[in-house]
Every structure is written in C-alpha cells, then in structure tokens.
C-alpha cells in the first residue's frame, strides 16, 4: 500500500512489484500471492515477497518481533538476493529458458549458465 505522499509507480516499477508478488514467500516459502515488502520505503526494486499473515504483517513477521527471520537465519538482504535470482533465472531449468527468452528482448540480459 502506498502512503499518501508517495509518487505514482512508473511502468517498470509496477511490473517489478507485480512479479515479486507472484513469488512464494521469501522467508517460509508459502505459495504466492505474496506481499511486496519494501526494504527501503519508496525503493520499489528492493521489494521482497513475504506472506501477508505470517512473515510480513504477522506477530512474528518483519513488522512484528521478527522471530520467523531469526529462526530461519534470514535477513532482508539475503531474501532480496534470492528474489533477484528467482526473477532473473527462475527456479527450474524450463523456467530459466522461458525467462531468458523473454529477457532477451528487454534491457536486462542474464549471464550464461
């Protein structure tokens, strides 16, 4: 949810956040849809996928006592790294091929495997 003073998302930011929300939770791996948690408010490309009731807004989530993250030895930075990897390269070989062909026409070109 955007705050009332934040600027509107541009096309690339909106597309990125939509892709993040389609990933499983970066903490507990609960299936999508996920919330896009912003590590830094307004920096949309540093959003990570977190399940709403558990790892994001829940009592033990990132906006709670953060117990889920401590138990799993996770940080926002480690989840961001995994998020970028999943968005760039997918998780299965078939997803990698599909994602690479989609990216070949974009500005982002993944490195060879």
In a domain? residue 111: no
Say what the pLDDT of residue 4 is.
Answer: 59
Q: What are the counts of helices (DSSP H) followed by strands (DSSP E) for the chain?
A: 4, 2
Answer yes or no: pTM beyond 0.85.
no
CATH number at residue 76: 3.30.40
Domain count across the chain: 1
In a domain? residue 34: yes
Q: Output the tens digit of pLDDT for each of the chain's 113 residues.
A: 556 556 788 999 999 999 999 999 999 999 999 999 999 988 999 999 999 999 999 898 889 899 989 999 999 999 999 999 999 998 644 444 444 444 444 455 555 55
């Amino acid at each position: 949810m955007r705050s009332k003073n934040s600027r509107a998302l541009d096309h690339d930011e909106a597309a990125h956040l939509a892709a993040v929300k389609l990933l499983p939770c970066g903490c507990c791996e609960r299936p999508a849809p996920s919330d896009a948690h912003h590590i830094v408010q307004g920096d949309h490309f540093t959003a990570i996928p977190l399940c709403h009731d558990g790892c994001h807004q829940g009592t033990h989530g990132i906006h709670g006592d953060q117990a889920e993250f401590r138990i799993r030895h996770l940080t926002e930075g480690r989840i961001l790294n995994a998020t970028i990897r999943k968005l760039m390269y997918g998780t299965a070989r078939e997803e990698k091929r599909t994602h690479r062909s989609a990216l070949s026409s974009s500005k982002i070109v993944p490195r060879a495997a």
